[in-house]
Structure 1
Amino acid sequence: MTVSRAALVDLLGALAYGELSAFDRLAEDARTAPTLASRAALAKMAGAEIGHFRLLEEYLTGEGVPVEQAMAPFVKALDGYHASTAPHDWLEALVKVYLGDGLAVDFYRAVAGFLPEPSGSLVRQVLADTGHSAFAEREVAAAIAENRQVRDRLALWGRRLLADAITQAQYVVAEREDLAELFVSGFGDLSGIAVLFKQLQKQHSRRMSALGLA
């Protein structure tokens, strides 16, 4: 399929701001880690995220688009999502990293399937696991094994993250005409997009189970 330049810039700009925001959050969350080992783990993840951001920055610059310009339309929506889902403690922060980033990975990986090269390969490279999955599963499993109330609280938190993330994603697509056209073309029609969101929900449930929060 043919992908317009405007749609591709929008997609990569949204992804770039997501990576920059992930770096900011991980660096901040690292300071609340309960141990030096946990702090170091999140700091390493933050370093990986800024590396992904630089890949997108280099690509966009090569296409003659300043990364700041590409990211600008998505700042309000992504900042709004992070403000509305600000974690109250270390465990909520860890669950947000694991589940929130997982949703983003699932979404962009689906989109990468119909992008032209080298854009598709770039998106898949940026989606590489930074190592947070196994780390988050261990940390959360240990915490909820000791306290049932912690498990119940984090389960509610995980469900809220899904609802807020999908709401923001729908808002962004509605606001960006070129992105909306890209998704409708790539997934066939509006029903195809609905199927995608159902798949995202299923993957979210799988990750909740992996954390012991199902």
Structure 2
Amino acid sequence: MSAPTTPGSAVADLLGLVALGELLAFERMAGDARLAPDLRRRAALGEMAAAEIANYHRLADRLATLGVPPEEAMRPYVEALQAYHDSTEPRDWAEAVTKAYVGDAITDDFLREIAGALGEPDRQLVLDVLHESRYAEFAAAEIRLAIEADPRVAHRLSMWARRLVGEALSQAGRVAAADRGALTALIAEGERVDVQALFRRLTAAHTERMAAAGLNN
């Protein structure tokens, strides 16, 4: 039987972090859709944004059920996550889909690993709100099309992807500093999560994704 979740616990902290990520992803994708070169692509990114806000509502509802106001659970992470998005504003459609492909995927990989340390129903909730593979496939296909149209784009997008990962890791440190301790303990608890092995798996998965989209790691 899973241990009960209490306000201020690691579970509430993690759900607050994920909820804020979904909310900001919605805002970002809705804005980036205006960079799309045609209405089909604009609609596709709009659909992805709609999925993000639906996921946010699921997480907010769960937090409310636990007796934790969603805004309270999200508040410690606002500065770090907003800083990431503010420092990685895409300049064009190719950069927008690369951000969705690289940034969302590495976040999903991380959450998938950490979800294993949760009890139900929170484990399944976190897994349920991860991005659908069809969205990653759409973004990767758009990156490959951009490279086919102009091979020189590959270098620029590879550099952009490295910047995205660097910014993500930098802000992850700020998230850890902002956390009250419970979330950090959940991530670092040796019996549940091997942190060094976790980062090796994240790095390997990122390298594979870059190659699949025609980018250099």
Structure 1 length as normaliser, TM-score? 0.93
Question: What is aligned with 1:212?
Answer: 214
Deviations 1:119-153 (A, max 9, x none): 10110111141732111122111110121221100
Bigger proportion of residues as helix: 1
Alpha-carbon distance change, 213 to 3 in structure 1, aligned in 2, over 3 angstroms: farther
Structure 1 segments (4+ residues) deviating >2 Å: 1-5, 186-189
Q: Is the 8 A contact 2:77 2:178 kept in 1?
A: no
- Percent identity over the alignment is 44
Q: Which residue of 2 aligns with 1:26?
A: 29
**Cα–Cα, structure 1 residues 16 and 107, in superposed 2: closer, same or farther, change >3 Å?**
same
Match of 1:90 among 89, 93, 103: 93
Q: Pick from 178, 181, 184: which aligns with 2:182?
A: 178
Match of 2:102 among 80, 99, 104: 99
Deviates most, 5-14 or 71-80: 5-14
Q: Distance in 2 between matches of 1:187 and 1:139?
A: 40
Confirm or deny: 8 A CA contact 1:137 1:210 kept in the other structure. Answer: yes
Q: 2:138 aligns with which of 123, 135, 139?
A: 135
Partner residue of 1:37 out of 37, 40, 51: 40
Which amino acid in the other structure matches residue 104 of structure 2? D
The residue type equivalent to 1:159 in the other structure is R
SS in 1 for 2:171: helix
- Contact residue 162 and residue 201 of structure 1 kept, 8 A: no
Normalised by the length of structure 2, the TM-score is: 0.92
Summarize the Cα distance change of 1:126–1:186 in structure 2 as closer, same or farther, 3 Å threshold.
farther
Map of 1:198 onto structure 2: 200
The amino acid across from 2:202 in the alignment is L
Q: Structure 1 unaligned runs (5+)? A: none
- Could you tell me which amino acid in structure 2 is paired with residue 57 of structure 1? A
Name the CA distance, whole Å, in 1 between partners of 2:97 and 2:192. Answer: 35
Over residues 171-198 of structure 1, what are the superposed CA-to-partner deviations in whole Å (9 max), with x where a residue is unaligned?
2123321111111216657xx2132122
Distance of aligned partners of 1:186 and 1:17 in 2 relative to their CA distance in 1, 3 Å threshold:
farther
The one-letter amino acid of 2:50's match is G
1:62 counterpart residue number: 65
- Structure 1 distance, partners of 2:164, 2:18, is 18
Q: CA deviation at 1:4?
A: 6.3
**Which moved further from structure 2: 178-187 or 44-53?**
178-187
Distance 1:35 1:187, change over 3 A: farther
> How far apart are the structure 2 equivalents of 1:187 and 1:170?
22
CA distance in 2, matches of 1:20, 1:187: 31
On the 8 A contact 1:162/1:204 being kept in 2, the answer is no
Q: 1:188 to 1:59 in 2, by over 3 A?
A: closer
Q: 1:12-54 deviations in whole A, cap 9, x for unaligned?
A: 0000000001100110011111000000101111111111001
